[in-house]
Amino acid sequence: MTPPADPLEVLPASFTYAAALEVGVSKHQLRRLLEAGELTRLGRGVYRSASAEPAEEDLIEIALRARDATLCLTSALSRHDLTDLIPRAIDVALPRTRRQPQLTAPVRWHRFADETFALGRDEMVVEPGTTMGLYSPERCIVDAFRLRHLEGPELGIEALRRWLRRRGATPAKLLSFAQAFPPAHSAIAKTLRVLL
Protein backbone atom coordinates (compact mmCIF):
# COMPACT_ATOMS: atom_id res chain seq x y z
CA MET A 1 0.00 0.00 0.00
CA THR A 2 1.36 3.40 -0.97
CA PRO A 3 1.60 5.76 2.01
CA PRO A 4 -0.70 8.79 1.74
CA ALA A 5 0.98 12.10 0.88
CA ASP A 6 -0.70 13.81 3.85
CA PRO A 7 -1.57 11.23 6.52
CA LEU A 8 -3.63 13.73 8.50
CA GLU A 9 -6.12 13.97 5.62
CA VAL A 10 -6.95 10.25 5.73
CA LEU A 11 -7.03 9.83 9.52
CA PRO A 12 -9.59 11.04 12.05
CA ALA A 13 -8.57 13.71 14.59
CA SER A 14 -7.59 10.97 17.06
CA PHE A 15 -6.45 7.50 16.11
CA THR A 16 -4.45 4.47 17.15
CA TYR A 17 -1.17 3.26 15.75
CA ALA A 18 -2.99 0.22 14.30
CA ALA A 19 -5.53 2.48 12.53
CA ALA A 20 -2.69 4.50 11.00
CA LEU A 21 -1.03 1.33 9.67
CA GLU A 22 -4.35 0.16 8.18
CA VAL A 23 -4.56 3.23 5.94
CA GLY A 24 -0.93 2.98 4.90
CA VAL A 25 0.70 5.50 7.25
CA SER A 26 4.16 4.26 8.19
CA LYS A 27 5.90 4.33 11.54
CA HIS A 28 8.40 6.81 10.04
CA GLN A 29 5.64 9.18 8.88
CA LEU A 30 4.14 9.14 12.38
CA ARG A 31 7.53 9.90 13.91
CA ARG A 32 8.06 12.82 11.50
CA LEU A 33 4.62 14.25 12.29
CA LEU A 34 5.34 14.00 16.03
CA GLU A 35 8.72 15.70 15.64
CA ALA A 36 7.15 18.46 13.52
CA GLY A 37 4.52 19.08 16.21
CA GLU A 38 1.64 18.16 13.90
CA LEU A 39 0.70 15.21 16.12
CA THR A 40 0.62 14.73 19.87
CA ARG A 41 0.80 11.40 21.66
CA LEU A 42 -2.10 10.93 24.08
CA GLY A 43 -0.83 7.61 25.34
CA ARG A 44 0.73 4.38 24.22
CA GLY A 45 -0.29 3.92 20.58
CA VAL A 46 -2.82 6.79 20.59
CA TYR A 47 -2.25 9.96 18.58
CA ARG A 48 -4.14 13.20 17.99
CA SER A 49 -3.78 15.92 15.40
CA ALA A 50 -2.35 19.08 16.98
CA SER A 51 -4.88 21.14 14.99
CA ALA A 52 -7.92 19.17 16.19
CA GLU A 53 -10.72 20.94 18.05
CA PRO A 54 -10.38 20.87 21.85
CA ALA A 55 -11.75 17.69 23.41
CA GLU A 56 -11.41 15.58 26.56
CA GLU A 57 -8.16 13.84 25.69
CA ASP A 58 -8.30 11.40 28.63
CA LEU A 59 -11.67 10.11 27.40
CA ILE A 60 -10.33 9.83 23.85
CA GLU A 61 -7.45 7.67 25.05
CA ILE A 62 -9.81 5.47 27.06
CA ALA A 63 -12.28 5.11 24.19
CA LEU A 64 -9.59 4.21 21.64
CA ARG A 65 -7.74 1.75 23.89
CA ALA A 66 -10.67 -0.04 25.57
CA ARG A 67 -13.48 -0.93 23.18
CA ASP A 68 -16.13 -1.60 25.87
CA ALA A 69 -15.07 1.21 28.23
CA THR A 70 -18.11 2.74 29.94
CA LEU A 71 -18.22 5.73 32.26
CA CYS A 72 -19.76 4.68 35.54
CA LEU A 73 -20.28 5.63 39.18
CA THR A 74 -19.14 9.14 40.21
CA SER A 75 -17.84 10.06 36.73
CA ALA A 76 -21.14 9.13 35.08
CA LEU A 77 -23.26 10.62 37.89
CA SER A 78 -21.35 13.88 37.40
CA ARG A 79 -22.09 13.83 33.63
CA HIS A 80 -25.79 13.34 34.43
CA ASP A 81 -25.64 16.20 37.00
CA LEU A 82 -26.58 13.83 39.82
CA THR A 83 -23.58 14.72 42.00
CA ASP A 84 -21.32 17.68 42.59
CA LEU A 85 -18.35 15.42 43.29
CA ILE A 86 -15.48 15.55 40.84
CA PRO A 87 -13.50 12.31 41.02
CA ARG A 88 -9.69 12.40 40.99
CA ALA A 89 -9.71 9.47 38.58
CA ILE A 90 -12.21 8.62 35.83
CA ASP A 91 -14.52 5.75 36.84
CA VAL A 92 -14.61 3.29 33.95
CA ALA A 93 -16.31 -0.10 33.82
CA LEU A 94 -15.26 -3.05 31.70
CA PRO A 95 -16.78 -6.51 31.45
CA ARG A 96 -15.15 -8.82 33.97
CA THR A 97 -13.66 -10.94 31.17
CA ARG A 98 -11.90 -8.00 29.44
CA ARG A 99 -8.34 -6.96 30.23
CA GLN A 100 -7.81 -3.35 31.15
CA PRO A 101 -5.21 -1.52 29.07
CA GLN A 102 -2.42 0.51 30.58
CA LEU A 103 -3.23 4.17 30.08
CA THR A 104 -1.74 7.54 30.91
CA ALA A 105 -5.23 8.87 31.75
CA PRO A 106 -6.10 8.70 35.46
CA VAL A 107 -8.57 5.79 35.50
CA ARG A 108 -10.18 3.84 38.31
CA TRP A 109 -11.22 0.56 36.73
CA HIS A 110 -14.35 -1.34 37.75
CA ARG A 111 -15.12 -4.90 36.65
CA PHE A 112 -18.83 -5.56 36.08
CA ALA A 113 -20.43 -8.94 35.45
CA ASP A 114 -20.69 -9.80 31.76
CA GLU A 115 -24.39 -10.70 32.01
CA THR A 116 -25.40 -7.27 33.39
CA PHE A 117 -22.67 -5.10 31.82
CA ALA A 118 -24.83 -3.83 28.92
CA LEU A 119 -27.90 -3.00 31.07
CA GLY A 120 -28.47 0.76 30.93
CA ARG A 121 -25.43 1.29 28.71
CA ASP A 122 -25.66 4.08 26.13
CA GLU A 123 -23.06 5.65 23.84
CA MET A 124 -21.74 9.18 24.08
CA VAL A 125 -19.71 11.09 21.51
CA VAL A 126 -16.27 12.00 22.86
CA GLU A 127 -15.37 13.78 19.62
CA PRO A 128 -16.63 13.31 16.06
CA GLY A 129 -15.80 9.73 15.07
CA THR A 130 -15.01 8.56 18.62
CA THR A 131 -17.60 7.23 21.07
CA MET A 132 -17.55 5.44 24.40
CA GLY A 133 -20.11 3.98 26.75
CA LEU A 134 -22.00 5.94 29.40
CA TYR A 135 -24.41 4.35 31.85
CA SER A 136 -27.90 5.82 32.13
CA PRO A 137 -28.86 7.81 35.23
CA GLU A 138 -30.90 4.85 36.51
CA ARG A 139 -27.98 2.43 36.10
CA CYS A 140 -25.63 4.88 37.83
CA ILE A 141 -27.96 5.14 40.82
CA VAL A 142 -28.27 1.36 41.02
CA ASP A 143 -24.47 0.99 40.85
CA ALA A 144 -23.95 3.62 43.55
CA PHE A 145 -26.26 1.64 45.86
CA ARG A 146 -24.83 -1.70 44.76
CA LEU A 147 -21.25 -0.57 45.43
CA ARG A 148 -21.97 1.56 48.49
CA HIS A 149 -19.41 -0.48 50.46
CA LEU A 150 -16.76 1.10 48.17
CA GLU A 151 -18.33 4.46 47.40
CA GLY A 152 -20.11 5.23 50.67
CA PRO A 153 -23.90 5.40 51.06
CA GLU A 154 -24.12 9.18 50.53
CA LEU A 155 -23.29 9.00 46.81
CA GLY A 156 -26.33 6.89 45.94
CA ILE A 157 -28.71 8.71 48.30
CA GLU A 158 -27.79 12.16 46.93
CA ALA A 159 -28.01 10.93 43.33
CA LEU A 160 -31.42 9.38 44.01
CA ARG A 161 -32.64 12.58 45.69
CA ARG A 162 -31.59 14.70 42.67
CA TRP A 163 -33.01 12.18 40.19
CA LEU A 164 -36.41 12.23 41.93
CA ARG A 165 -36.65 16.01 41.36
CA ARG A 166 -36.43 15.54 37.60
CA ARG A 167 -39.45 15.58 35.32
CA GLY A 168 -40.30 12.05 34.26
CA ALA A 169 -38.40 10.32 37.10
CA THR A 170 -40.52 7.33 38.02
CA PRO A 171 -39.62 5.32 41.13
CA ALA A 172 -41.45 2.28 39.72
CA LYS A 173 -39.24 2.39 36.60
CA LEU A 174 -36.09 2.62 38.74
CA LEU A 175 -37.20 -0.28 40.95
CA SER A 176 -38.04 -2.35 37.89
CA PHE A 177 -34.56 -1.70 36.47
CA ALA A 178 -32.95 -2.50 39.85
CA GLN A 179 -34.50 -5.99 39.91
CA ALA A 180 -31.50 -7.22 37.92
CA PHE A 181 -29.35 -6.24 40.94
CA PRO A 182 -31.16 -7.69 44.03
CA PRO A 183 -28.99 -6.17 46.82
CA ALA A 184 -29.32 -2.70 45.28
CA HIS A 185 -33.06 -3.20 44.72
CA SER A 186 -33.83 -3.61 48.41
CA ALA A 187 -31.57 -0.70 49.45
CA ILE A 188 -33.18 1.60 46.86
CA ALA A 189 -36.70 0.53 47.90
CA LYS A 190 -35.92 1.35 51.57
CA THR A 191 -34.41 4.71 50.64
CA LEU A 192 -37.39 5.58 48.44
CA ARG A 193 -39.75 4.91 51.37
CA VAL A 194 -37.81 7.49 53.40
CA LEU A 195 -37.50 10.09 50.61
CA LEU A 196 -41.09 9.95 49.30
Using an 8 Å Cβ cutoff, are 113 and 96 in contact? yes
Beta bridge partners of 40: 48
Q: How far apart are CA 163 and CA 79, in angstroms?
A: 13
87 or 7: which leads in pLDDT: 87
| Partner residues linked to 130 by β-bridges | 127
Strands (E) across 7-106 are located at: 14-16, 39-43, 46-49, 70-71, 90-95
Residue 195 burial (CB count, 10 A): 11
Which sequence spans correspond to the domains of the chain?
7-52, 60-195
User: What's the CA gap between 132 and 24, in Å, rounded?
Assistant: 26
Residue type, 125: V
Look at the pTM and tell me if it is higher than 0.85: yes
Strand, helix or coil for residue 112: strand
140-175 per-position pLDDT tens digit: 999 999 999 988 999 999 999 999 999 999 999 999
pLDDT band per the 50, 70, 90 thresholds, residue 6? confident
Give the model confidence (pLDDT) of 87-137 as tens digits: 899 999 999 999 999 999 999 999 999 999 999 999 999 999 899 999 999
β-strands 90-95, 14-16: how paired?
A: unpaired
